């Protein structure tokens, strides 16, 4: 039995709960439901915009708080708001670098998006699965909250250019993509802006580093080496293993409350 004071659980989505880009295994959903019924507040924190988190959850956990765009978007009580967007000067400089390196991209506004990459790129299948938004030209977005490069002549140099501009840069070498966020925006920074500082967290990738580093209980799903120093517990990227680890939190909450469940 684990001991846990925090009553909030934060879940990354892709590679943590969702392994096919579209659905969450029923065993994981059941375990998360048990956590909620045991008294845990649920937060889903994804690199996806909120628009693309909703189809994966498929109506489950309507009371949950959603963090999208690695912290640039939040949804509380079903109301989505942008809490961070690219400053015009920095974004203009980024677009100059994008042009220099011939980059293609996915740019997200608070709801709609612009996309210039190939239609057969794997990321394309994760965008607007619920047909909830519009694909528009970049200049039609009221603001840009997330910018994902899906191809360029020199990805490493483009990532470095973003860092020099003071942007948050996650270069996913295994997927050959670069994820840019405004300023110091991260999932953890979004959590703290809502007053959430005590929590357990599940994550799998480098954009979960700060989220796990500051968690009371930090669970790494899979074996990303960039999380070696912050993962308190590691479980395989397997639905049964993830569900079992989540279930431990529900059991701990019930034990702390002196009950045997509902």
The rounded distance, in Å, linking the Cα atoms of 9 and 68 is 16
Nearest 5°: the CA angle 211, 55, 38 is 55
Least confident among 42-46, 134-138, 255-259: 255-259
**Which pLDDT score is estimated for 261?**
43
Instruction: Indicate if the pLDDT at residue 174 is higher than 80.
Output: no
The pLDDT of 171-193, averaged and rounded, is: 88
For the chain, the domains span 8-82+186-256, 88-181
CATH superfamily of 8-82+186-256: HAD superfamily/HAD-like (3.40.50.1000)
Instruction: Indicate if the pLDDT at residue 143 is higher than 90.
Output: yes
Nearest alpha carbon to residue 208 among 196, 195, 192, 224: 224
Instruction: Indicate if the pLDDT at residue 262 is higher than 60.
Output: no
Instruction: Indicate if the pLDDT at residue 218 is higher than 50.
Output: yes
**Which pLDDT score is estimated for 215?**
97
The rounded distance, in Å, linking the Cα atoms of 99 and 114 is 16
The rounded distance, in Å, linking the Cα atoms of 150 and 156 is 12
Instruction: Indicate if the pLDDT at residue 170 is higher than 70.
Output: yes
**Dihedral (CA of 182, 187, 188, 192) sign:** positive
**Which pLDDT score is estimated for 3?**
74
Confidence of residue 159 (pLDDT cuts 50, 70, 90): very high
Cβ-based neighbour number of residue 99 at 10 Å: 9
Instruction: Indicate if the pLDDT at residue 49 is higher than 50.
Output: yes
For the entire predicted model, the pTM comes to 0.87
Q: Domain 88-181: which topology? A: 3.30.1240
């Amino acid at each position: 039995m684990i001991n846990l004071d925090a009553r909030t659980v934060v879940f990354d989505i892709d590679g943590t709960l969702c392994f096919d880009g579209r659905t969450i295994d029923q065993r994981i959903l059941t375990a998360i439901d048990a956590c909620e019924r045991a008294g845990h507040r649920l937060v889903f924190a994804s690199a996806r915009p909120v628009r693309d988190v909703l189809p994966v959850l498929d109506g489950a956990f309507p009371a949950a708080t959603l963090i999208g765009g690695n912290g640039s978007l939040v949804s509380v009580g079903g109301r989505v708001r942008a809490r961070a967007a690219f400053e015009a000067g920095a974004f203009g400089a980024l677009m100059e670098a994008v042009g220099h390196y011939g980059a293609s991209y996915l740019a997200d506004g608070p709801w709609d998006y612009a996309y210039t990459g190939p239609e057969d790129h794997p990321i394309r299948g994760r965008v607007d699965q619920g047909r909830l938004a519009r694909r528009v030209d970049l200049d039609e977005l009221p603001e840009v909250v997330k910018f994902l490069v899906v191809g360029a002549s020199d990805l490493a140099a483009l990532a470095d250019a973003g860092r020099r501009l003071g942007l948050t840069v996650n270069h996913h070498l295994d997927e050959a993509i670069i994820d840019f966020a405004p300023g110091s925006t991260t999932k953890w920074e979004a959590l703290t802006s809502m007053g959430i500082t005590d929590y357990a967290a599940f994550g799998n990738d480098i954009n979960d580093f700060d989220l796990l580093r500051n968690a009371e209980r930090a669970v790494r799903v899979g074996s990303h080496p960039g999380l070696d120093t912050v993962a308190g517990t590691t479980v395989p990227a397997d639905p049964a293993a993830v569900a079992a680890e989540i279930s431990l939190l529900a059991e701990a909450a019930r034990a702390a409350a002196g009950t045997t469940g509902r």
